[in-house]
Amino acid sequence: MKSTDTRTEILDTAQELIQKLGVNAMSYADISEAVGIRKASIHYHFSTKDDLVAALLDRYNPDFLRLVDAIIASPESPETKLSRYFALFEATLSSGEQDKACLCGMLGAELKTLKHPLAERVIQFYQDNEARLVKILTEGREAGVFSFPGDIKVMATLIFSLLEGGILIVRANGGLYQFRAIVEQLMQLVKG
């Protein structure tokens, strides 16, 4: 039982560090210090940093997409669904000291340094989010709630890019207040 708790604590700590600092700035020494265990104990659970990142993606991606799928499946209006989707990013930013970004956003910033299977999984996360945004936007257009010009898929890419990039930028300038202003402006753009 203890090894599962330690493993989870390692994953939680590594995720927090990556969301704040990036994967290349995070080390096993950082995790060791934060968790209060030896580096050898971390290697017992995750022999390499790539193994650790893979385990984080195995946990993070399905959990995040499950939340999005629940939003899509809800009987709420498309506008409410989109607001709830935006709120997932706001919740990440607002946790802690307003200095955390989406795990895959931080990994995406360092995509060229990730090995192929890890990079592909980050890219797949982006594609999965955009596909789900297409569903929300299509529903909104069909209901007459969204009247933005242009292609729905391009708008989905724009929204996802703005959320991932915006959260990185506002950590340095304006924080949660600025992020909320960006999201509010984005909703006005989508509504047309």
State pLDDT tens for residues 86-128.
999 999 999 878 899 999 999 999 999 999 999 999 999 999 9
User: For 48-64, what is the mean pLDDT?
Assistant: 97
> Can you tell me the distance from the alpha carbon of 150 to that of 189, in angstroms, rounded to the nearest whole number?
12
Q: What is the pTM of this model?
A: 0.93
Determine the distance from the C-alpha atom of residue 145 to the mean position of all C-alpha atoms in its chain, rounded to a whole number. Answer: 26
CA–CA distance from 77 to each of 8, 13, 65, 137 (Å)?
Answer: 36, 36, 19, 11
Q: What's the pLDDT band for 2 if we cut at 50, 70, 90?
A: low
User: For 70-75, what is the mean pLDDT?
Assistant: 98
User: For 144-173, what is the mean pLDDT?
Assistant: 96
pLDDT at 98: 86
> Can you tell me the distance from the alpha carbon of 176 to that of 170, in angstroms, rounded to the nearest whole number?
7
pLDDT at 96: 77
**Domains of the chain, with CATH numbers?**
57-191 (1.10.357.10)
Do residues 49 and 23 touch, judged by C-beta distance below 8 A?
A: yes
Tokens at 92, concatenated: 């990440």
User: For 172-182, what is the mean pLDDT?
Assistant: 92
∠43-52-175 over CA atoms, to 5°?
Answer: 125
Residue with tokens 């995509």: 111
